[in-house]
Amino acid sequence: MPTSFSPAHRRPWPMWAIVPLFVAVAFSVPLVQCFHREHLHQTAPQNLLKFAERIKANRPELHVVPMLKNGSADSGFWVCTQPRSWDELSGLPPLPQFESEWFGTVAIVRKQDYFDVNVGWQDLGHGFAFGDPDLIAALRSR
């Protein structure tokens, strides 16, 4: 004997309840996306200097070495898991065939300085990165 709660006797939702639910979901999705974009815009570093400072603050175990000898990281910098000298890092060729030499090291450069980057460079949003794929992934997640 079927009960009043069995699926065979279940009545569909009334249209007056479905339409407002659909409208609420339809309006909330763009609002959430807009908030999410604003949040990313506020938290993403606006230039490489700020990105380097954020890496130093959030990941003190990493070593940030500016590409310019004057000490400014605004045009680019290297991130290393071990201390390395500027002379050693500046001699690393950013080419896929030398990827094994880049273990524990990533080069990050400004986008506006490099219109045609070589194969192997990855877009980080505020710059291009080349080097250790695991370290690039760790930097991207921060």
Report the predicted TM-score, pTM, of the whole model to 2 decimal places: 0.64
Taking alpha carbons only, the member of 100, 99, 78 closest to residue 87 is: 78
pLDDT single digits (tens) 86-130 = 999 999 988 888 888 999 999 998 876 655 556 678 888 778 889
pLDDT at position 97: 87
Q: Name which residue leads in pLDDT, 7 or 111.
A: 111
pLDDT single digits (tens) 17-37 = 777 777 777 777 776 666 555
Phi, psi of 6 (to 5 degrees): -75, 155
pLDDT single digits (tens) 35-86 = 555 544 444 455 888 888 988 999 999 999 998 887 778 889 999 999 999 9
